[in-house]
Structure 1
Amino acid sequence: MASVTPKLTLGIHPQSLSIHRFTPIAHNISLAAGLLATASQPTYAPLASLTITSDEVSVILPSSLALPSGESHGAPQGEIKTEGDWIAVQVAGTLDFALVGILAYLTAPLKEAGVSVFCVSTYDTDWILIKEDKVEEAKAAWERVGCKVVDAQSL
């Protein structure tokens, strides 16, 4: 097993994101997939994600992307929960699956700083979402443990 190197580079993406929760019914899954296709365009945000479980459909979308309203217009059915004002932080580069402890390494200093996180892993890398008003605290916490934190455009 490879250990985590303390020289990780993190890129902060400035676009505001929202996390939405829908009930797991076919209509909502189709709607979420359509919203995801729109959000995946480069003009929106660096991260859009769809996760489906037996209990929920969770979608991460740019906050600027409005959800449909009114069931007659294809709005989600059932209760919708939304948590906004998140910023995405990307671990730079492609991470080998053999690496162990990356998220633990990155979230431990945030725990100490009182910064809440929402994590998403992709095939290539990890993403940590933090609240917009906690960006500076998160950046300082990561820099204290040796991470390089940059504007994502510098990646």
Structure 2
Amino acid sequence: MDLQMINEAFSICKVKDFSEVNLNELYVFTSHTDEEYSVICPTKLVPKACIEVEHDWRCFRIAEDASFGKYGMIAFLADIIAKQKTGILVVATYDTDYILIKGSKWEEVKGALEESNCRFI
């Protein structure tokens, strides 16, 4: 499977609202539920008024056809990553999926993915 690293440090934030979030920036993901507003973004774009924030996340995406007709891609990646004793956060977009992992586990996870025939392009 072809993967592409996003060369940014990422943060995951809980915010009061989206008023400080610039949706025109690259790699800004938002969610709004009945309980919270969340933002995942490059660390350099973290809103000032965060309720909570967790830094040091790395992100890569599936760099091949990940359309709705395809299945099992996230399960395949999640299994490899889970064996490295770390969690993941997955963000799905219309075209592909983005996977975030803690920066401290990045080298281990990258190595395990490459050993499982994943290729970073």
Unaligned runs of at least 5 residues, structure 2: none
| 1:36 partner letter | N
Residue of 8, 14, 21 corresponding to 1:35: 21
> 1:86-108 deviations in whole A, cap 9, x for unaligned?
11101103422011111110110
Measure the CA separation in 1 of the matches of 2:46 and 2:80.
Answer: 34
Pick one of 97, 100, 104 that aligns with 1:129: 100
Please tell me the root mean square deviation across aligned C-alpha atoms, in Å: 1.7
User: In 2 relative to 1, CA 93–14 (structure 1 residues): closer, same or farther, beyond 3 Å?
Assistant: same
Aligned equivalent of 2:3: 10
Total equivalences in the alignment: 121
Q: Return the structure number with greater strand share.
A: 2
Other-structure match for 2:13: 20
Cα shift at 1:62: 1.4
Which structure has the highest helix share of the two?
1
| 1:60 and 2:43 are equivalent in the alignment | no
Q: Secondary structure at the match of 2:83?
A: helix
Q: Which has the larger radius of gyration?
A: 1
Shift, 1:66, TM fit: 4.3
| Map of 1:82 onto structure 2 | 53
- Please say which of residues 14-23 and 80-89 is displaced more in the overlay: 14-23
> Shift in Å at residue 14 of structure 1?
2.2
Do the aligned residues in 1 keep the contact of 2:89 with 2:101 (CA within 8 Å)? yes
Identity of aligned residues (%): 31
Q: TM-score, normalised by structure 1?
A: 0.71
Partner of 1:3: none
Candidates 54, 73, 83, aligned match of 1:112: 83
Moved over 4 A (4+): none
